[in-house]
Structure 1
Amino acid sequence: MAKTLRKKSVPATLPEPMPRRVDPCVATLVDKPPKGSEWAFEVKWDGYRLAVHVEPGEVKAITRSGYDWTKKFGLIAAEARELGHASMILDGEAVVLDDQGRSDFGLLQRAVGKKPSLHEPSEIIFYAFDLLYLDGQDLRMHPLSERRRLLEPIVAGRTGAIRFSEEVHAEGAEFFQIACEMGLEGIIAKRRDRPYHSGRRPEWLKIKCVRRDTFAIVGYEPSTVPGAIGRLLLGANKGGDLVYVGGCGTGWSNQESVALRELLNAIPADKPAVALKRKGAFFARPLLVADVEYRAWTQDGKLRHPSFKGVREMAGPSEVYEIKRDA
């Protein structure tokens, strides 16, 4: 007598709880882009890292440090409600673009700040580049390629407050060169085959564009360390005059700092060579120039993330960086 085979019931997949907060995966800084088809490349956005949490009846915008900034990014939160899913976590960057389409951190700070600004909160764009949770499924252990496959139809093609951070299909070195020529901050490289892990990780890399120019030293601010310099005060040429372009406070040893202060103390100025009032500052005649590495220019004409690389006597005014009149 034949036995009757009974079908085994397949248990339904239970929904996984949505994390209240996910510490972001942070890229490791390297000098040059990696090689290999396992790497995907994106623009490095210069803004605030956000995780956008969507749940029934609630949307939150959580910063990298865990602060709830939903009110600051109200339009992003409102648009996240319209993406067609009951629950999800988007990982991305909130930015404001300049008139050449480049993200500018200074513009973003003013747009979310309390002071009057030419840039409104409505100009803030959230570029989504990862999907960590979707409709009851925690995606963090899935490879990046799968997470991006699920993310793309949700946000790709949108032109509002939420947009898709596109992968750039090019060799890393070629893309990096083009990004720097365009004045971008840099690029990001990510392993397509790796899961999402919080913290600084080797499977996400950042390669930054660095500029290096020469600026007149117009003075310094003293350090709290006796005899040393806290910040060098720097100037650039503009229309035949020196203009202040900010201070540089890194890049030297304590011994170099003391030596720099002695050099500048020997060439005091009767009045500042630039239009600048700074309590406690020492102003020197602009006879020395500093080689400075920096990332970019801020909207108000200051060096961003400058680092001192060397000093020498000025051979002539043409040695000093020239700011174009329309800059």
Structure 2
Amino acid sequence: MPRRVEPCVPTLVDKPPTGPEWAFEVKWDGYRLAVHVEPGEVRAVTRGGYDWTKKFGSIVAEAHELGHTSMIIDGEAVVLDDEGRSDFGLLQRAVGKRPSSHDASEIVFFAFDLLYLDGRDLRKLPLSERRRLLEPIVAGRAGAIRFSEEVSADGAEFLCVACEMGLEGIVAKRRDRPYRSGRQPEWQKIKCARRDTFVIVGYEPSTMPGAIGRLLLAARKGDGLVYVGGCGTGWSNKESTALRELLNAIPAERPAVTLRRKGAVFARPLLVADVEYRAWTQDGKLRHPSFKGVREMEGPTEAYEIADEPKLAKSNEFK
């Protein structure tokens, strides 16, 4: 039994593939793990090859009870939010050293592949056969180890539903292919990208003279604005310089949001930015935002409005 198997990594694509040879699963937002079960030992090995057995005690303890002498199970360790969605921020807190409302006992391992079983290397088998062997081992469990179910649906329809539910995206896998380490085209990931409009309330200067390092963004909440994070990508050097000139022309006497940021330059909230982003963090900030354009704000309702919880609010557009 190998001490480590480098994982198969999906290739990022723009849209789901079509055809009966493709199987679809939820894309879990967590830490990729291989659970190694051997006589007298269970190890949790990360994608990079690190032994994180101590961080995933509940998963390791349950792996002892799966009823097989030796196994390598491929999957993703996650923490689920109140809506049953994987949340990477919650997971980081659960495995970290800082105090958190979530602890390591809440981490769930979604198993989606079986690479080795009772002395037999399964990697040359097609995915459909590996999943057939994995399912009776983990399906139906509701504890620390669970089965990542295949979704019987058209890929495009599944992606649309996944995005509307606030999931990170979906994964497509060829049922007829063996398991190959490294980034492979027979596994594909399609991410949900939200796109909305946010008020520009200022910027942080770049180390490049005359350019912007980060735009400071806000959303509507009630009768005011609330800071939702900074955006530092998506523009050319020329666009960055032009943005800075635009904002310098409308300086604010006082910030439009409550924010203490050393070196920040605040502007009156007259411009809005079109921003593409992945999701909302637990503390109400945009995750992986990318600038797509700027224009004058025609009216206050043009900007994104935060409801009770920003991560549950619906986006205007999914890409």
Range of TM-score over shorter length: over 0.9
Residue in structure 1 matching 2:174, options 181, 186, 191: 191
Residue in structure 2 matching 1:54, options 33, 37, 59: 37
Which residue matches 1:40? 23
Q: Mapping of 1:136-285 within 5 angstroms?
A: 136-285=119-268
Contact 1:185 1:295 in 2 (8 A): yes
Which residue matches 2:4? 21
Which residue matches 1:88? 71
**CA distance, structure 2, for counterparts of residue 79 and residue 271 of structure 1:** 55
Which residue matches 2:313? none
- Amino acid corresponding to residue 256 of structure 2 in structure 1: A
- Identity score, percent: 83
Which residue matches 1:75? 58
CA offsets per residue over residues 43-73 of structure 1, 9 Å max, x none?
1101111111111111111111111111111
Which residue matches 1:112? 95
The secondary structure found in structure 1 opposite 2:54 is coil
Which of the two has higher C-alpha Rg? 1
Query: Normalising by structure 2, what TM-score?
Result: 0.95
- Amino acid corresponding to residue 96 of structure 1 in structure 2: V
Contact 1:238 1:325 in 2 (8 A): no
CA offsets per residue over residues 83-103 of structure 1, 9 Å max, x none?
111111111000111111111
**CA distance, structure 2, for counterparts of residue 224 and residue 76 of structure 1:** 45
The secondary structure found in structure 1 opposite 2:291 is strand
Structure 1: state its 5+ residue gaps: 1-17
1:225 Cα shift?
2.1
1:294 matched to 2:283? The reply is no
**CA distance, structure 2, for counterparts of residue 21 and residue 92 of structure 1:** 14
- Amino acid corresponding to residue 320 of structure 1 in structure 2: A
Which residue matches 1:312? 295
Question: CA RMSD of the aligned region, Å?
Answer: 1.1
The secondary structure found in structure 1 opposite 2:75 is strand
Which residue matches 2:314? none
1:224 Cα shift?
2.1
Structure 2: state its 5+ residue gaps: 311-319
Aligned residue pairs total 310
The secondary structure found in structure 2 opposite 1:173 is helix
- Amino acid corresponding to residue 84 of structure 1 in structure 2: G
- Amino acid corresponding to residue 160 of structure 1 in structure 2: G
**CA distance, structure 1, for counterparts of residue 308 and residue 9 of structure 2:** 39
The secondary structure found in structure 2 opposite 1:285 is coil
CA offsets per residue over residues 11-46 of structure 1, 9 Å max, x none?
xxxxxxx11111111111111111111000001101
The secondary structure found in structure 2 opposite 1:72 is helix
Residue in structure 1 matching 2:286, options 290, 303, 318: 303
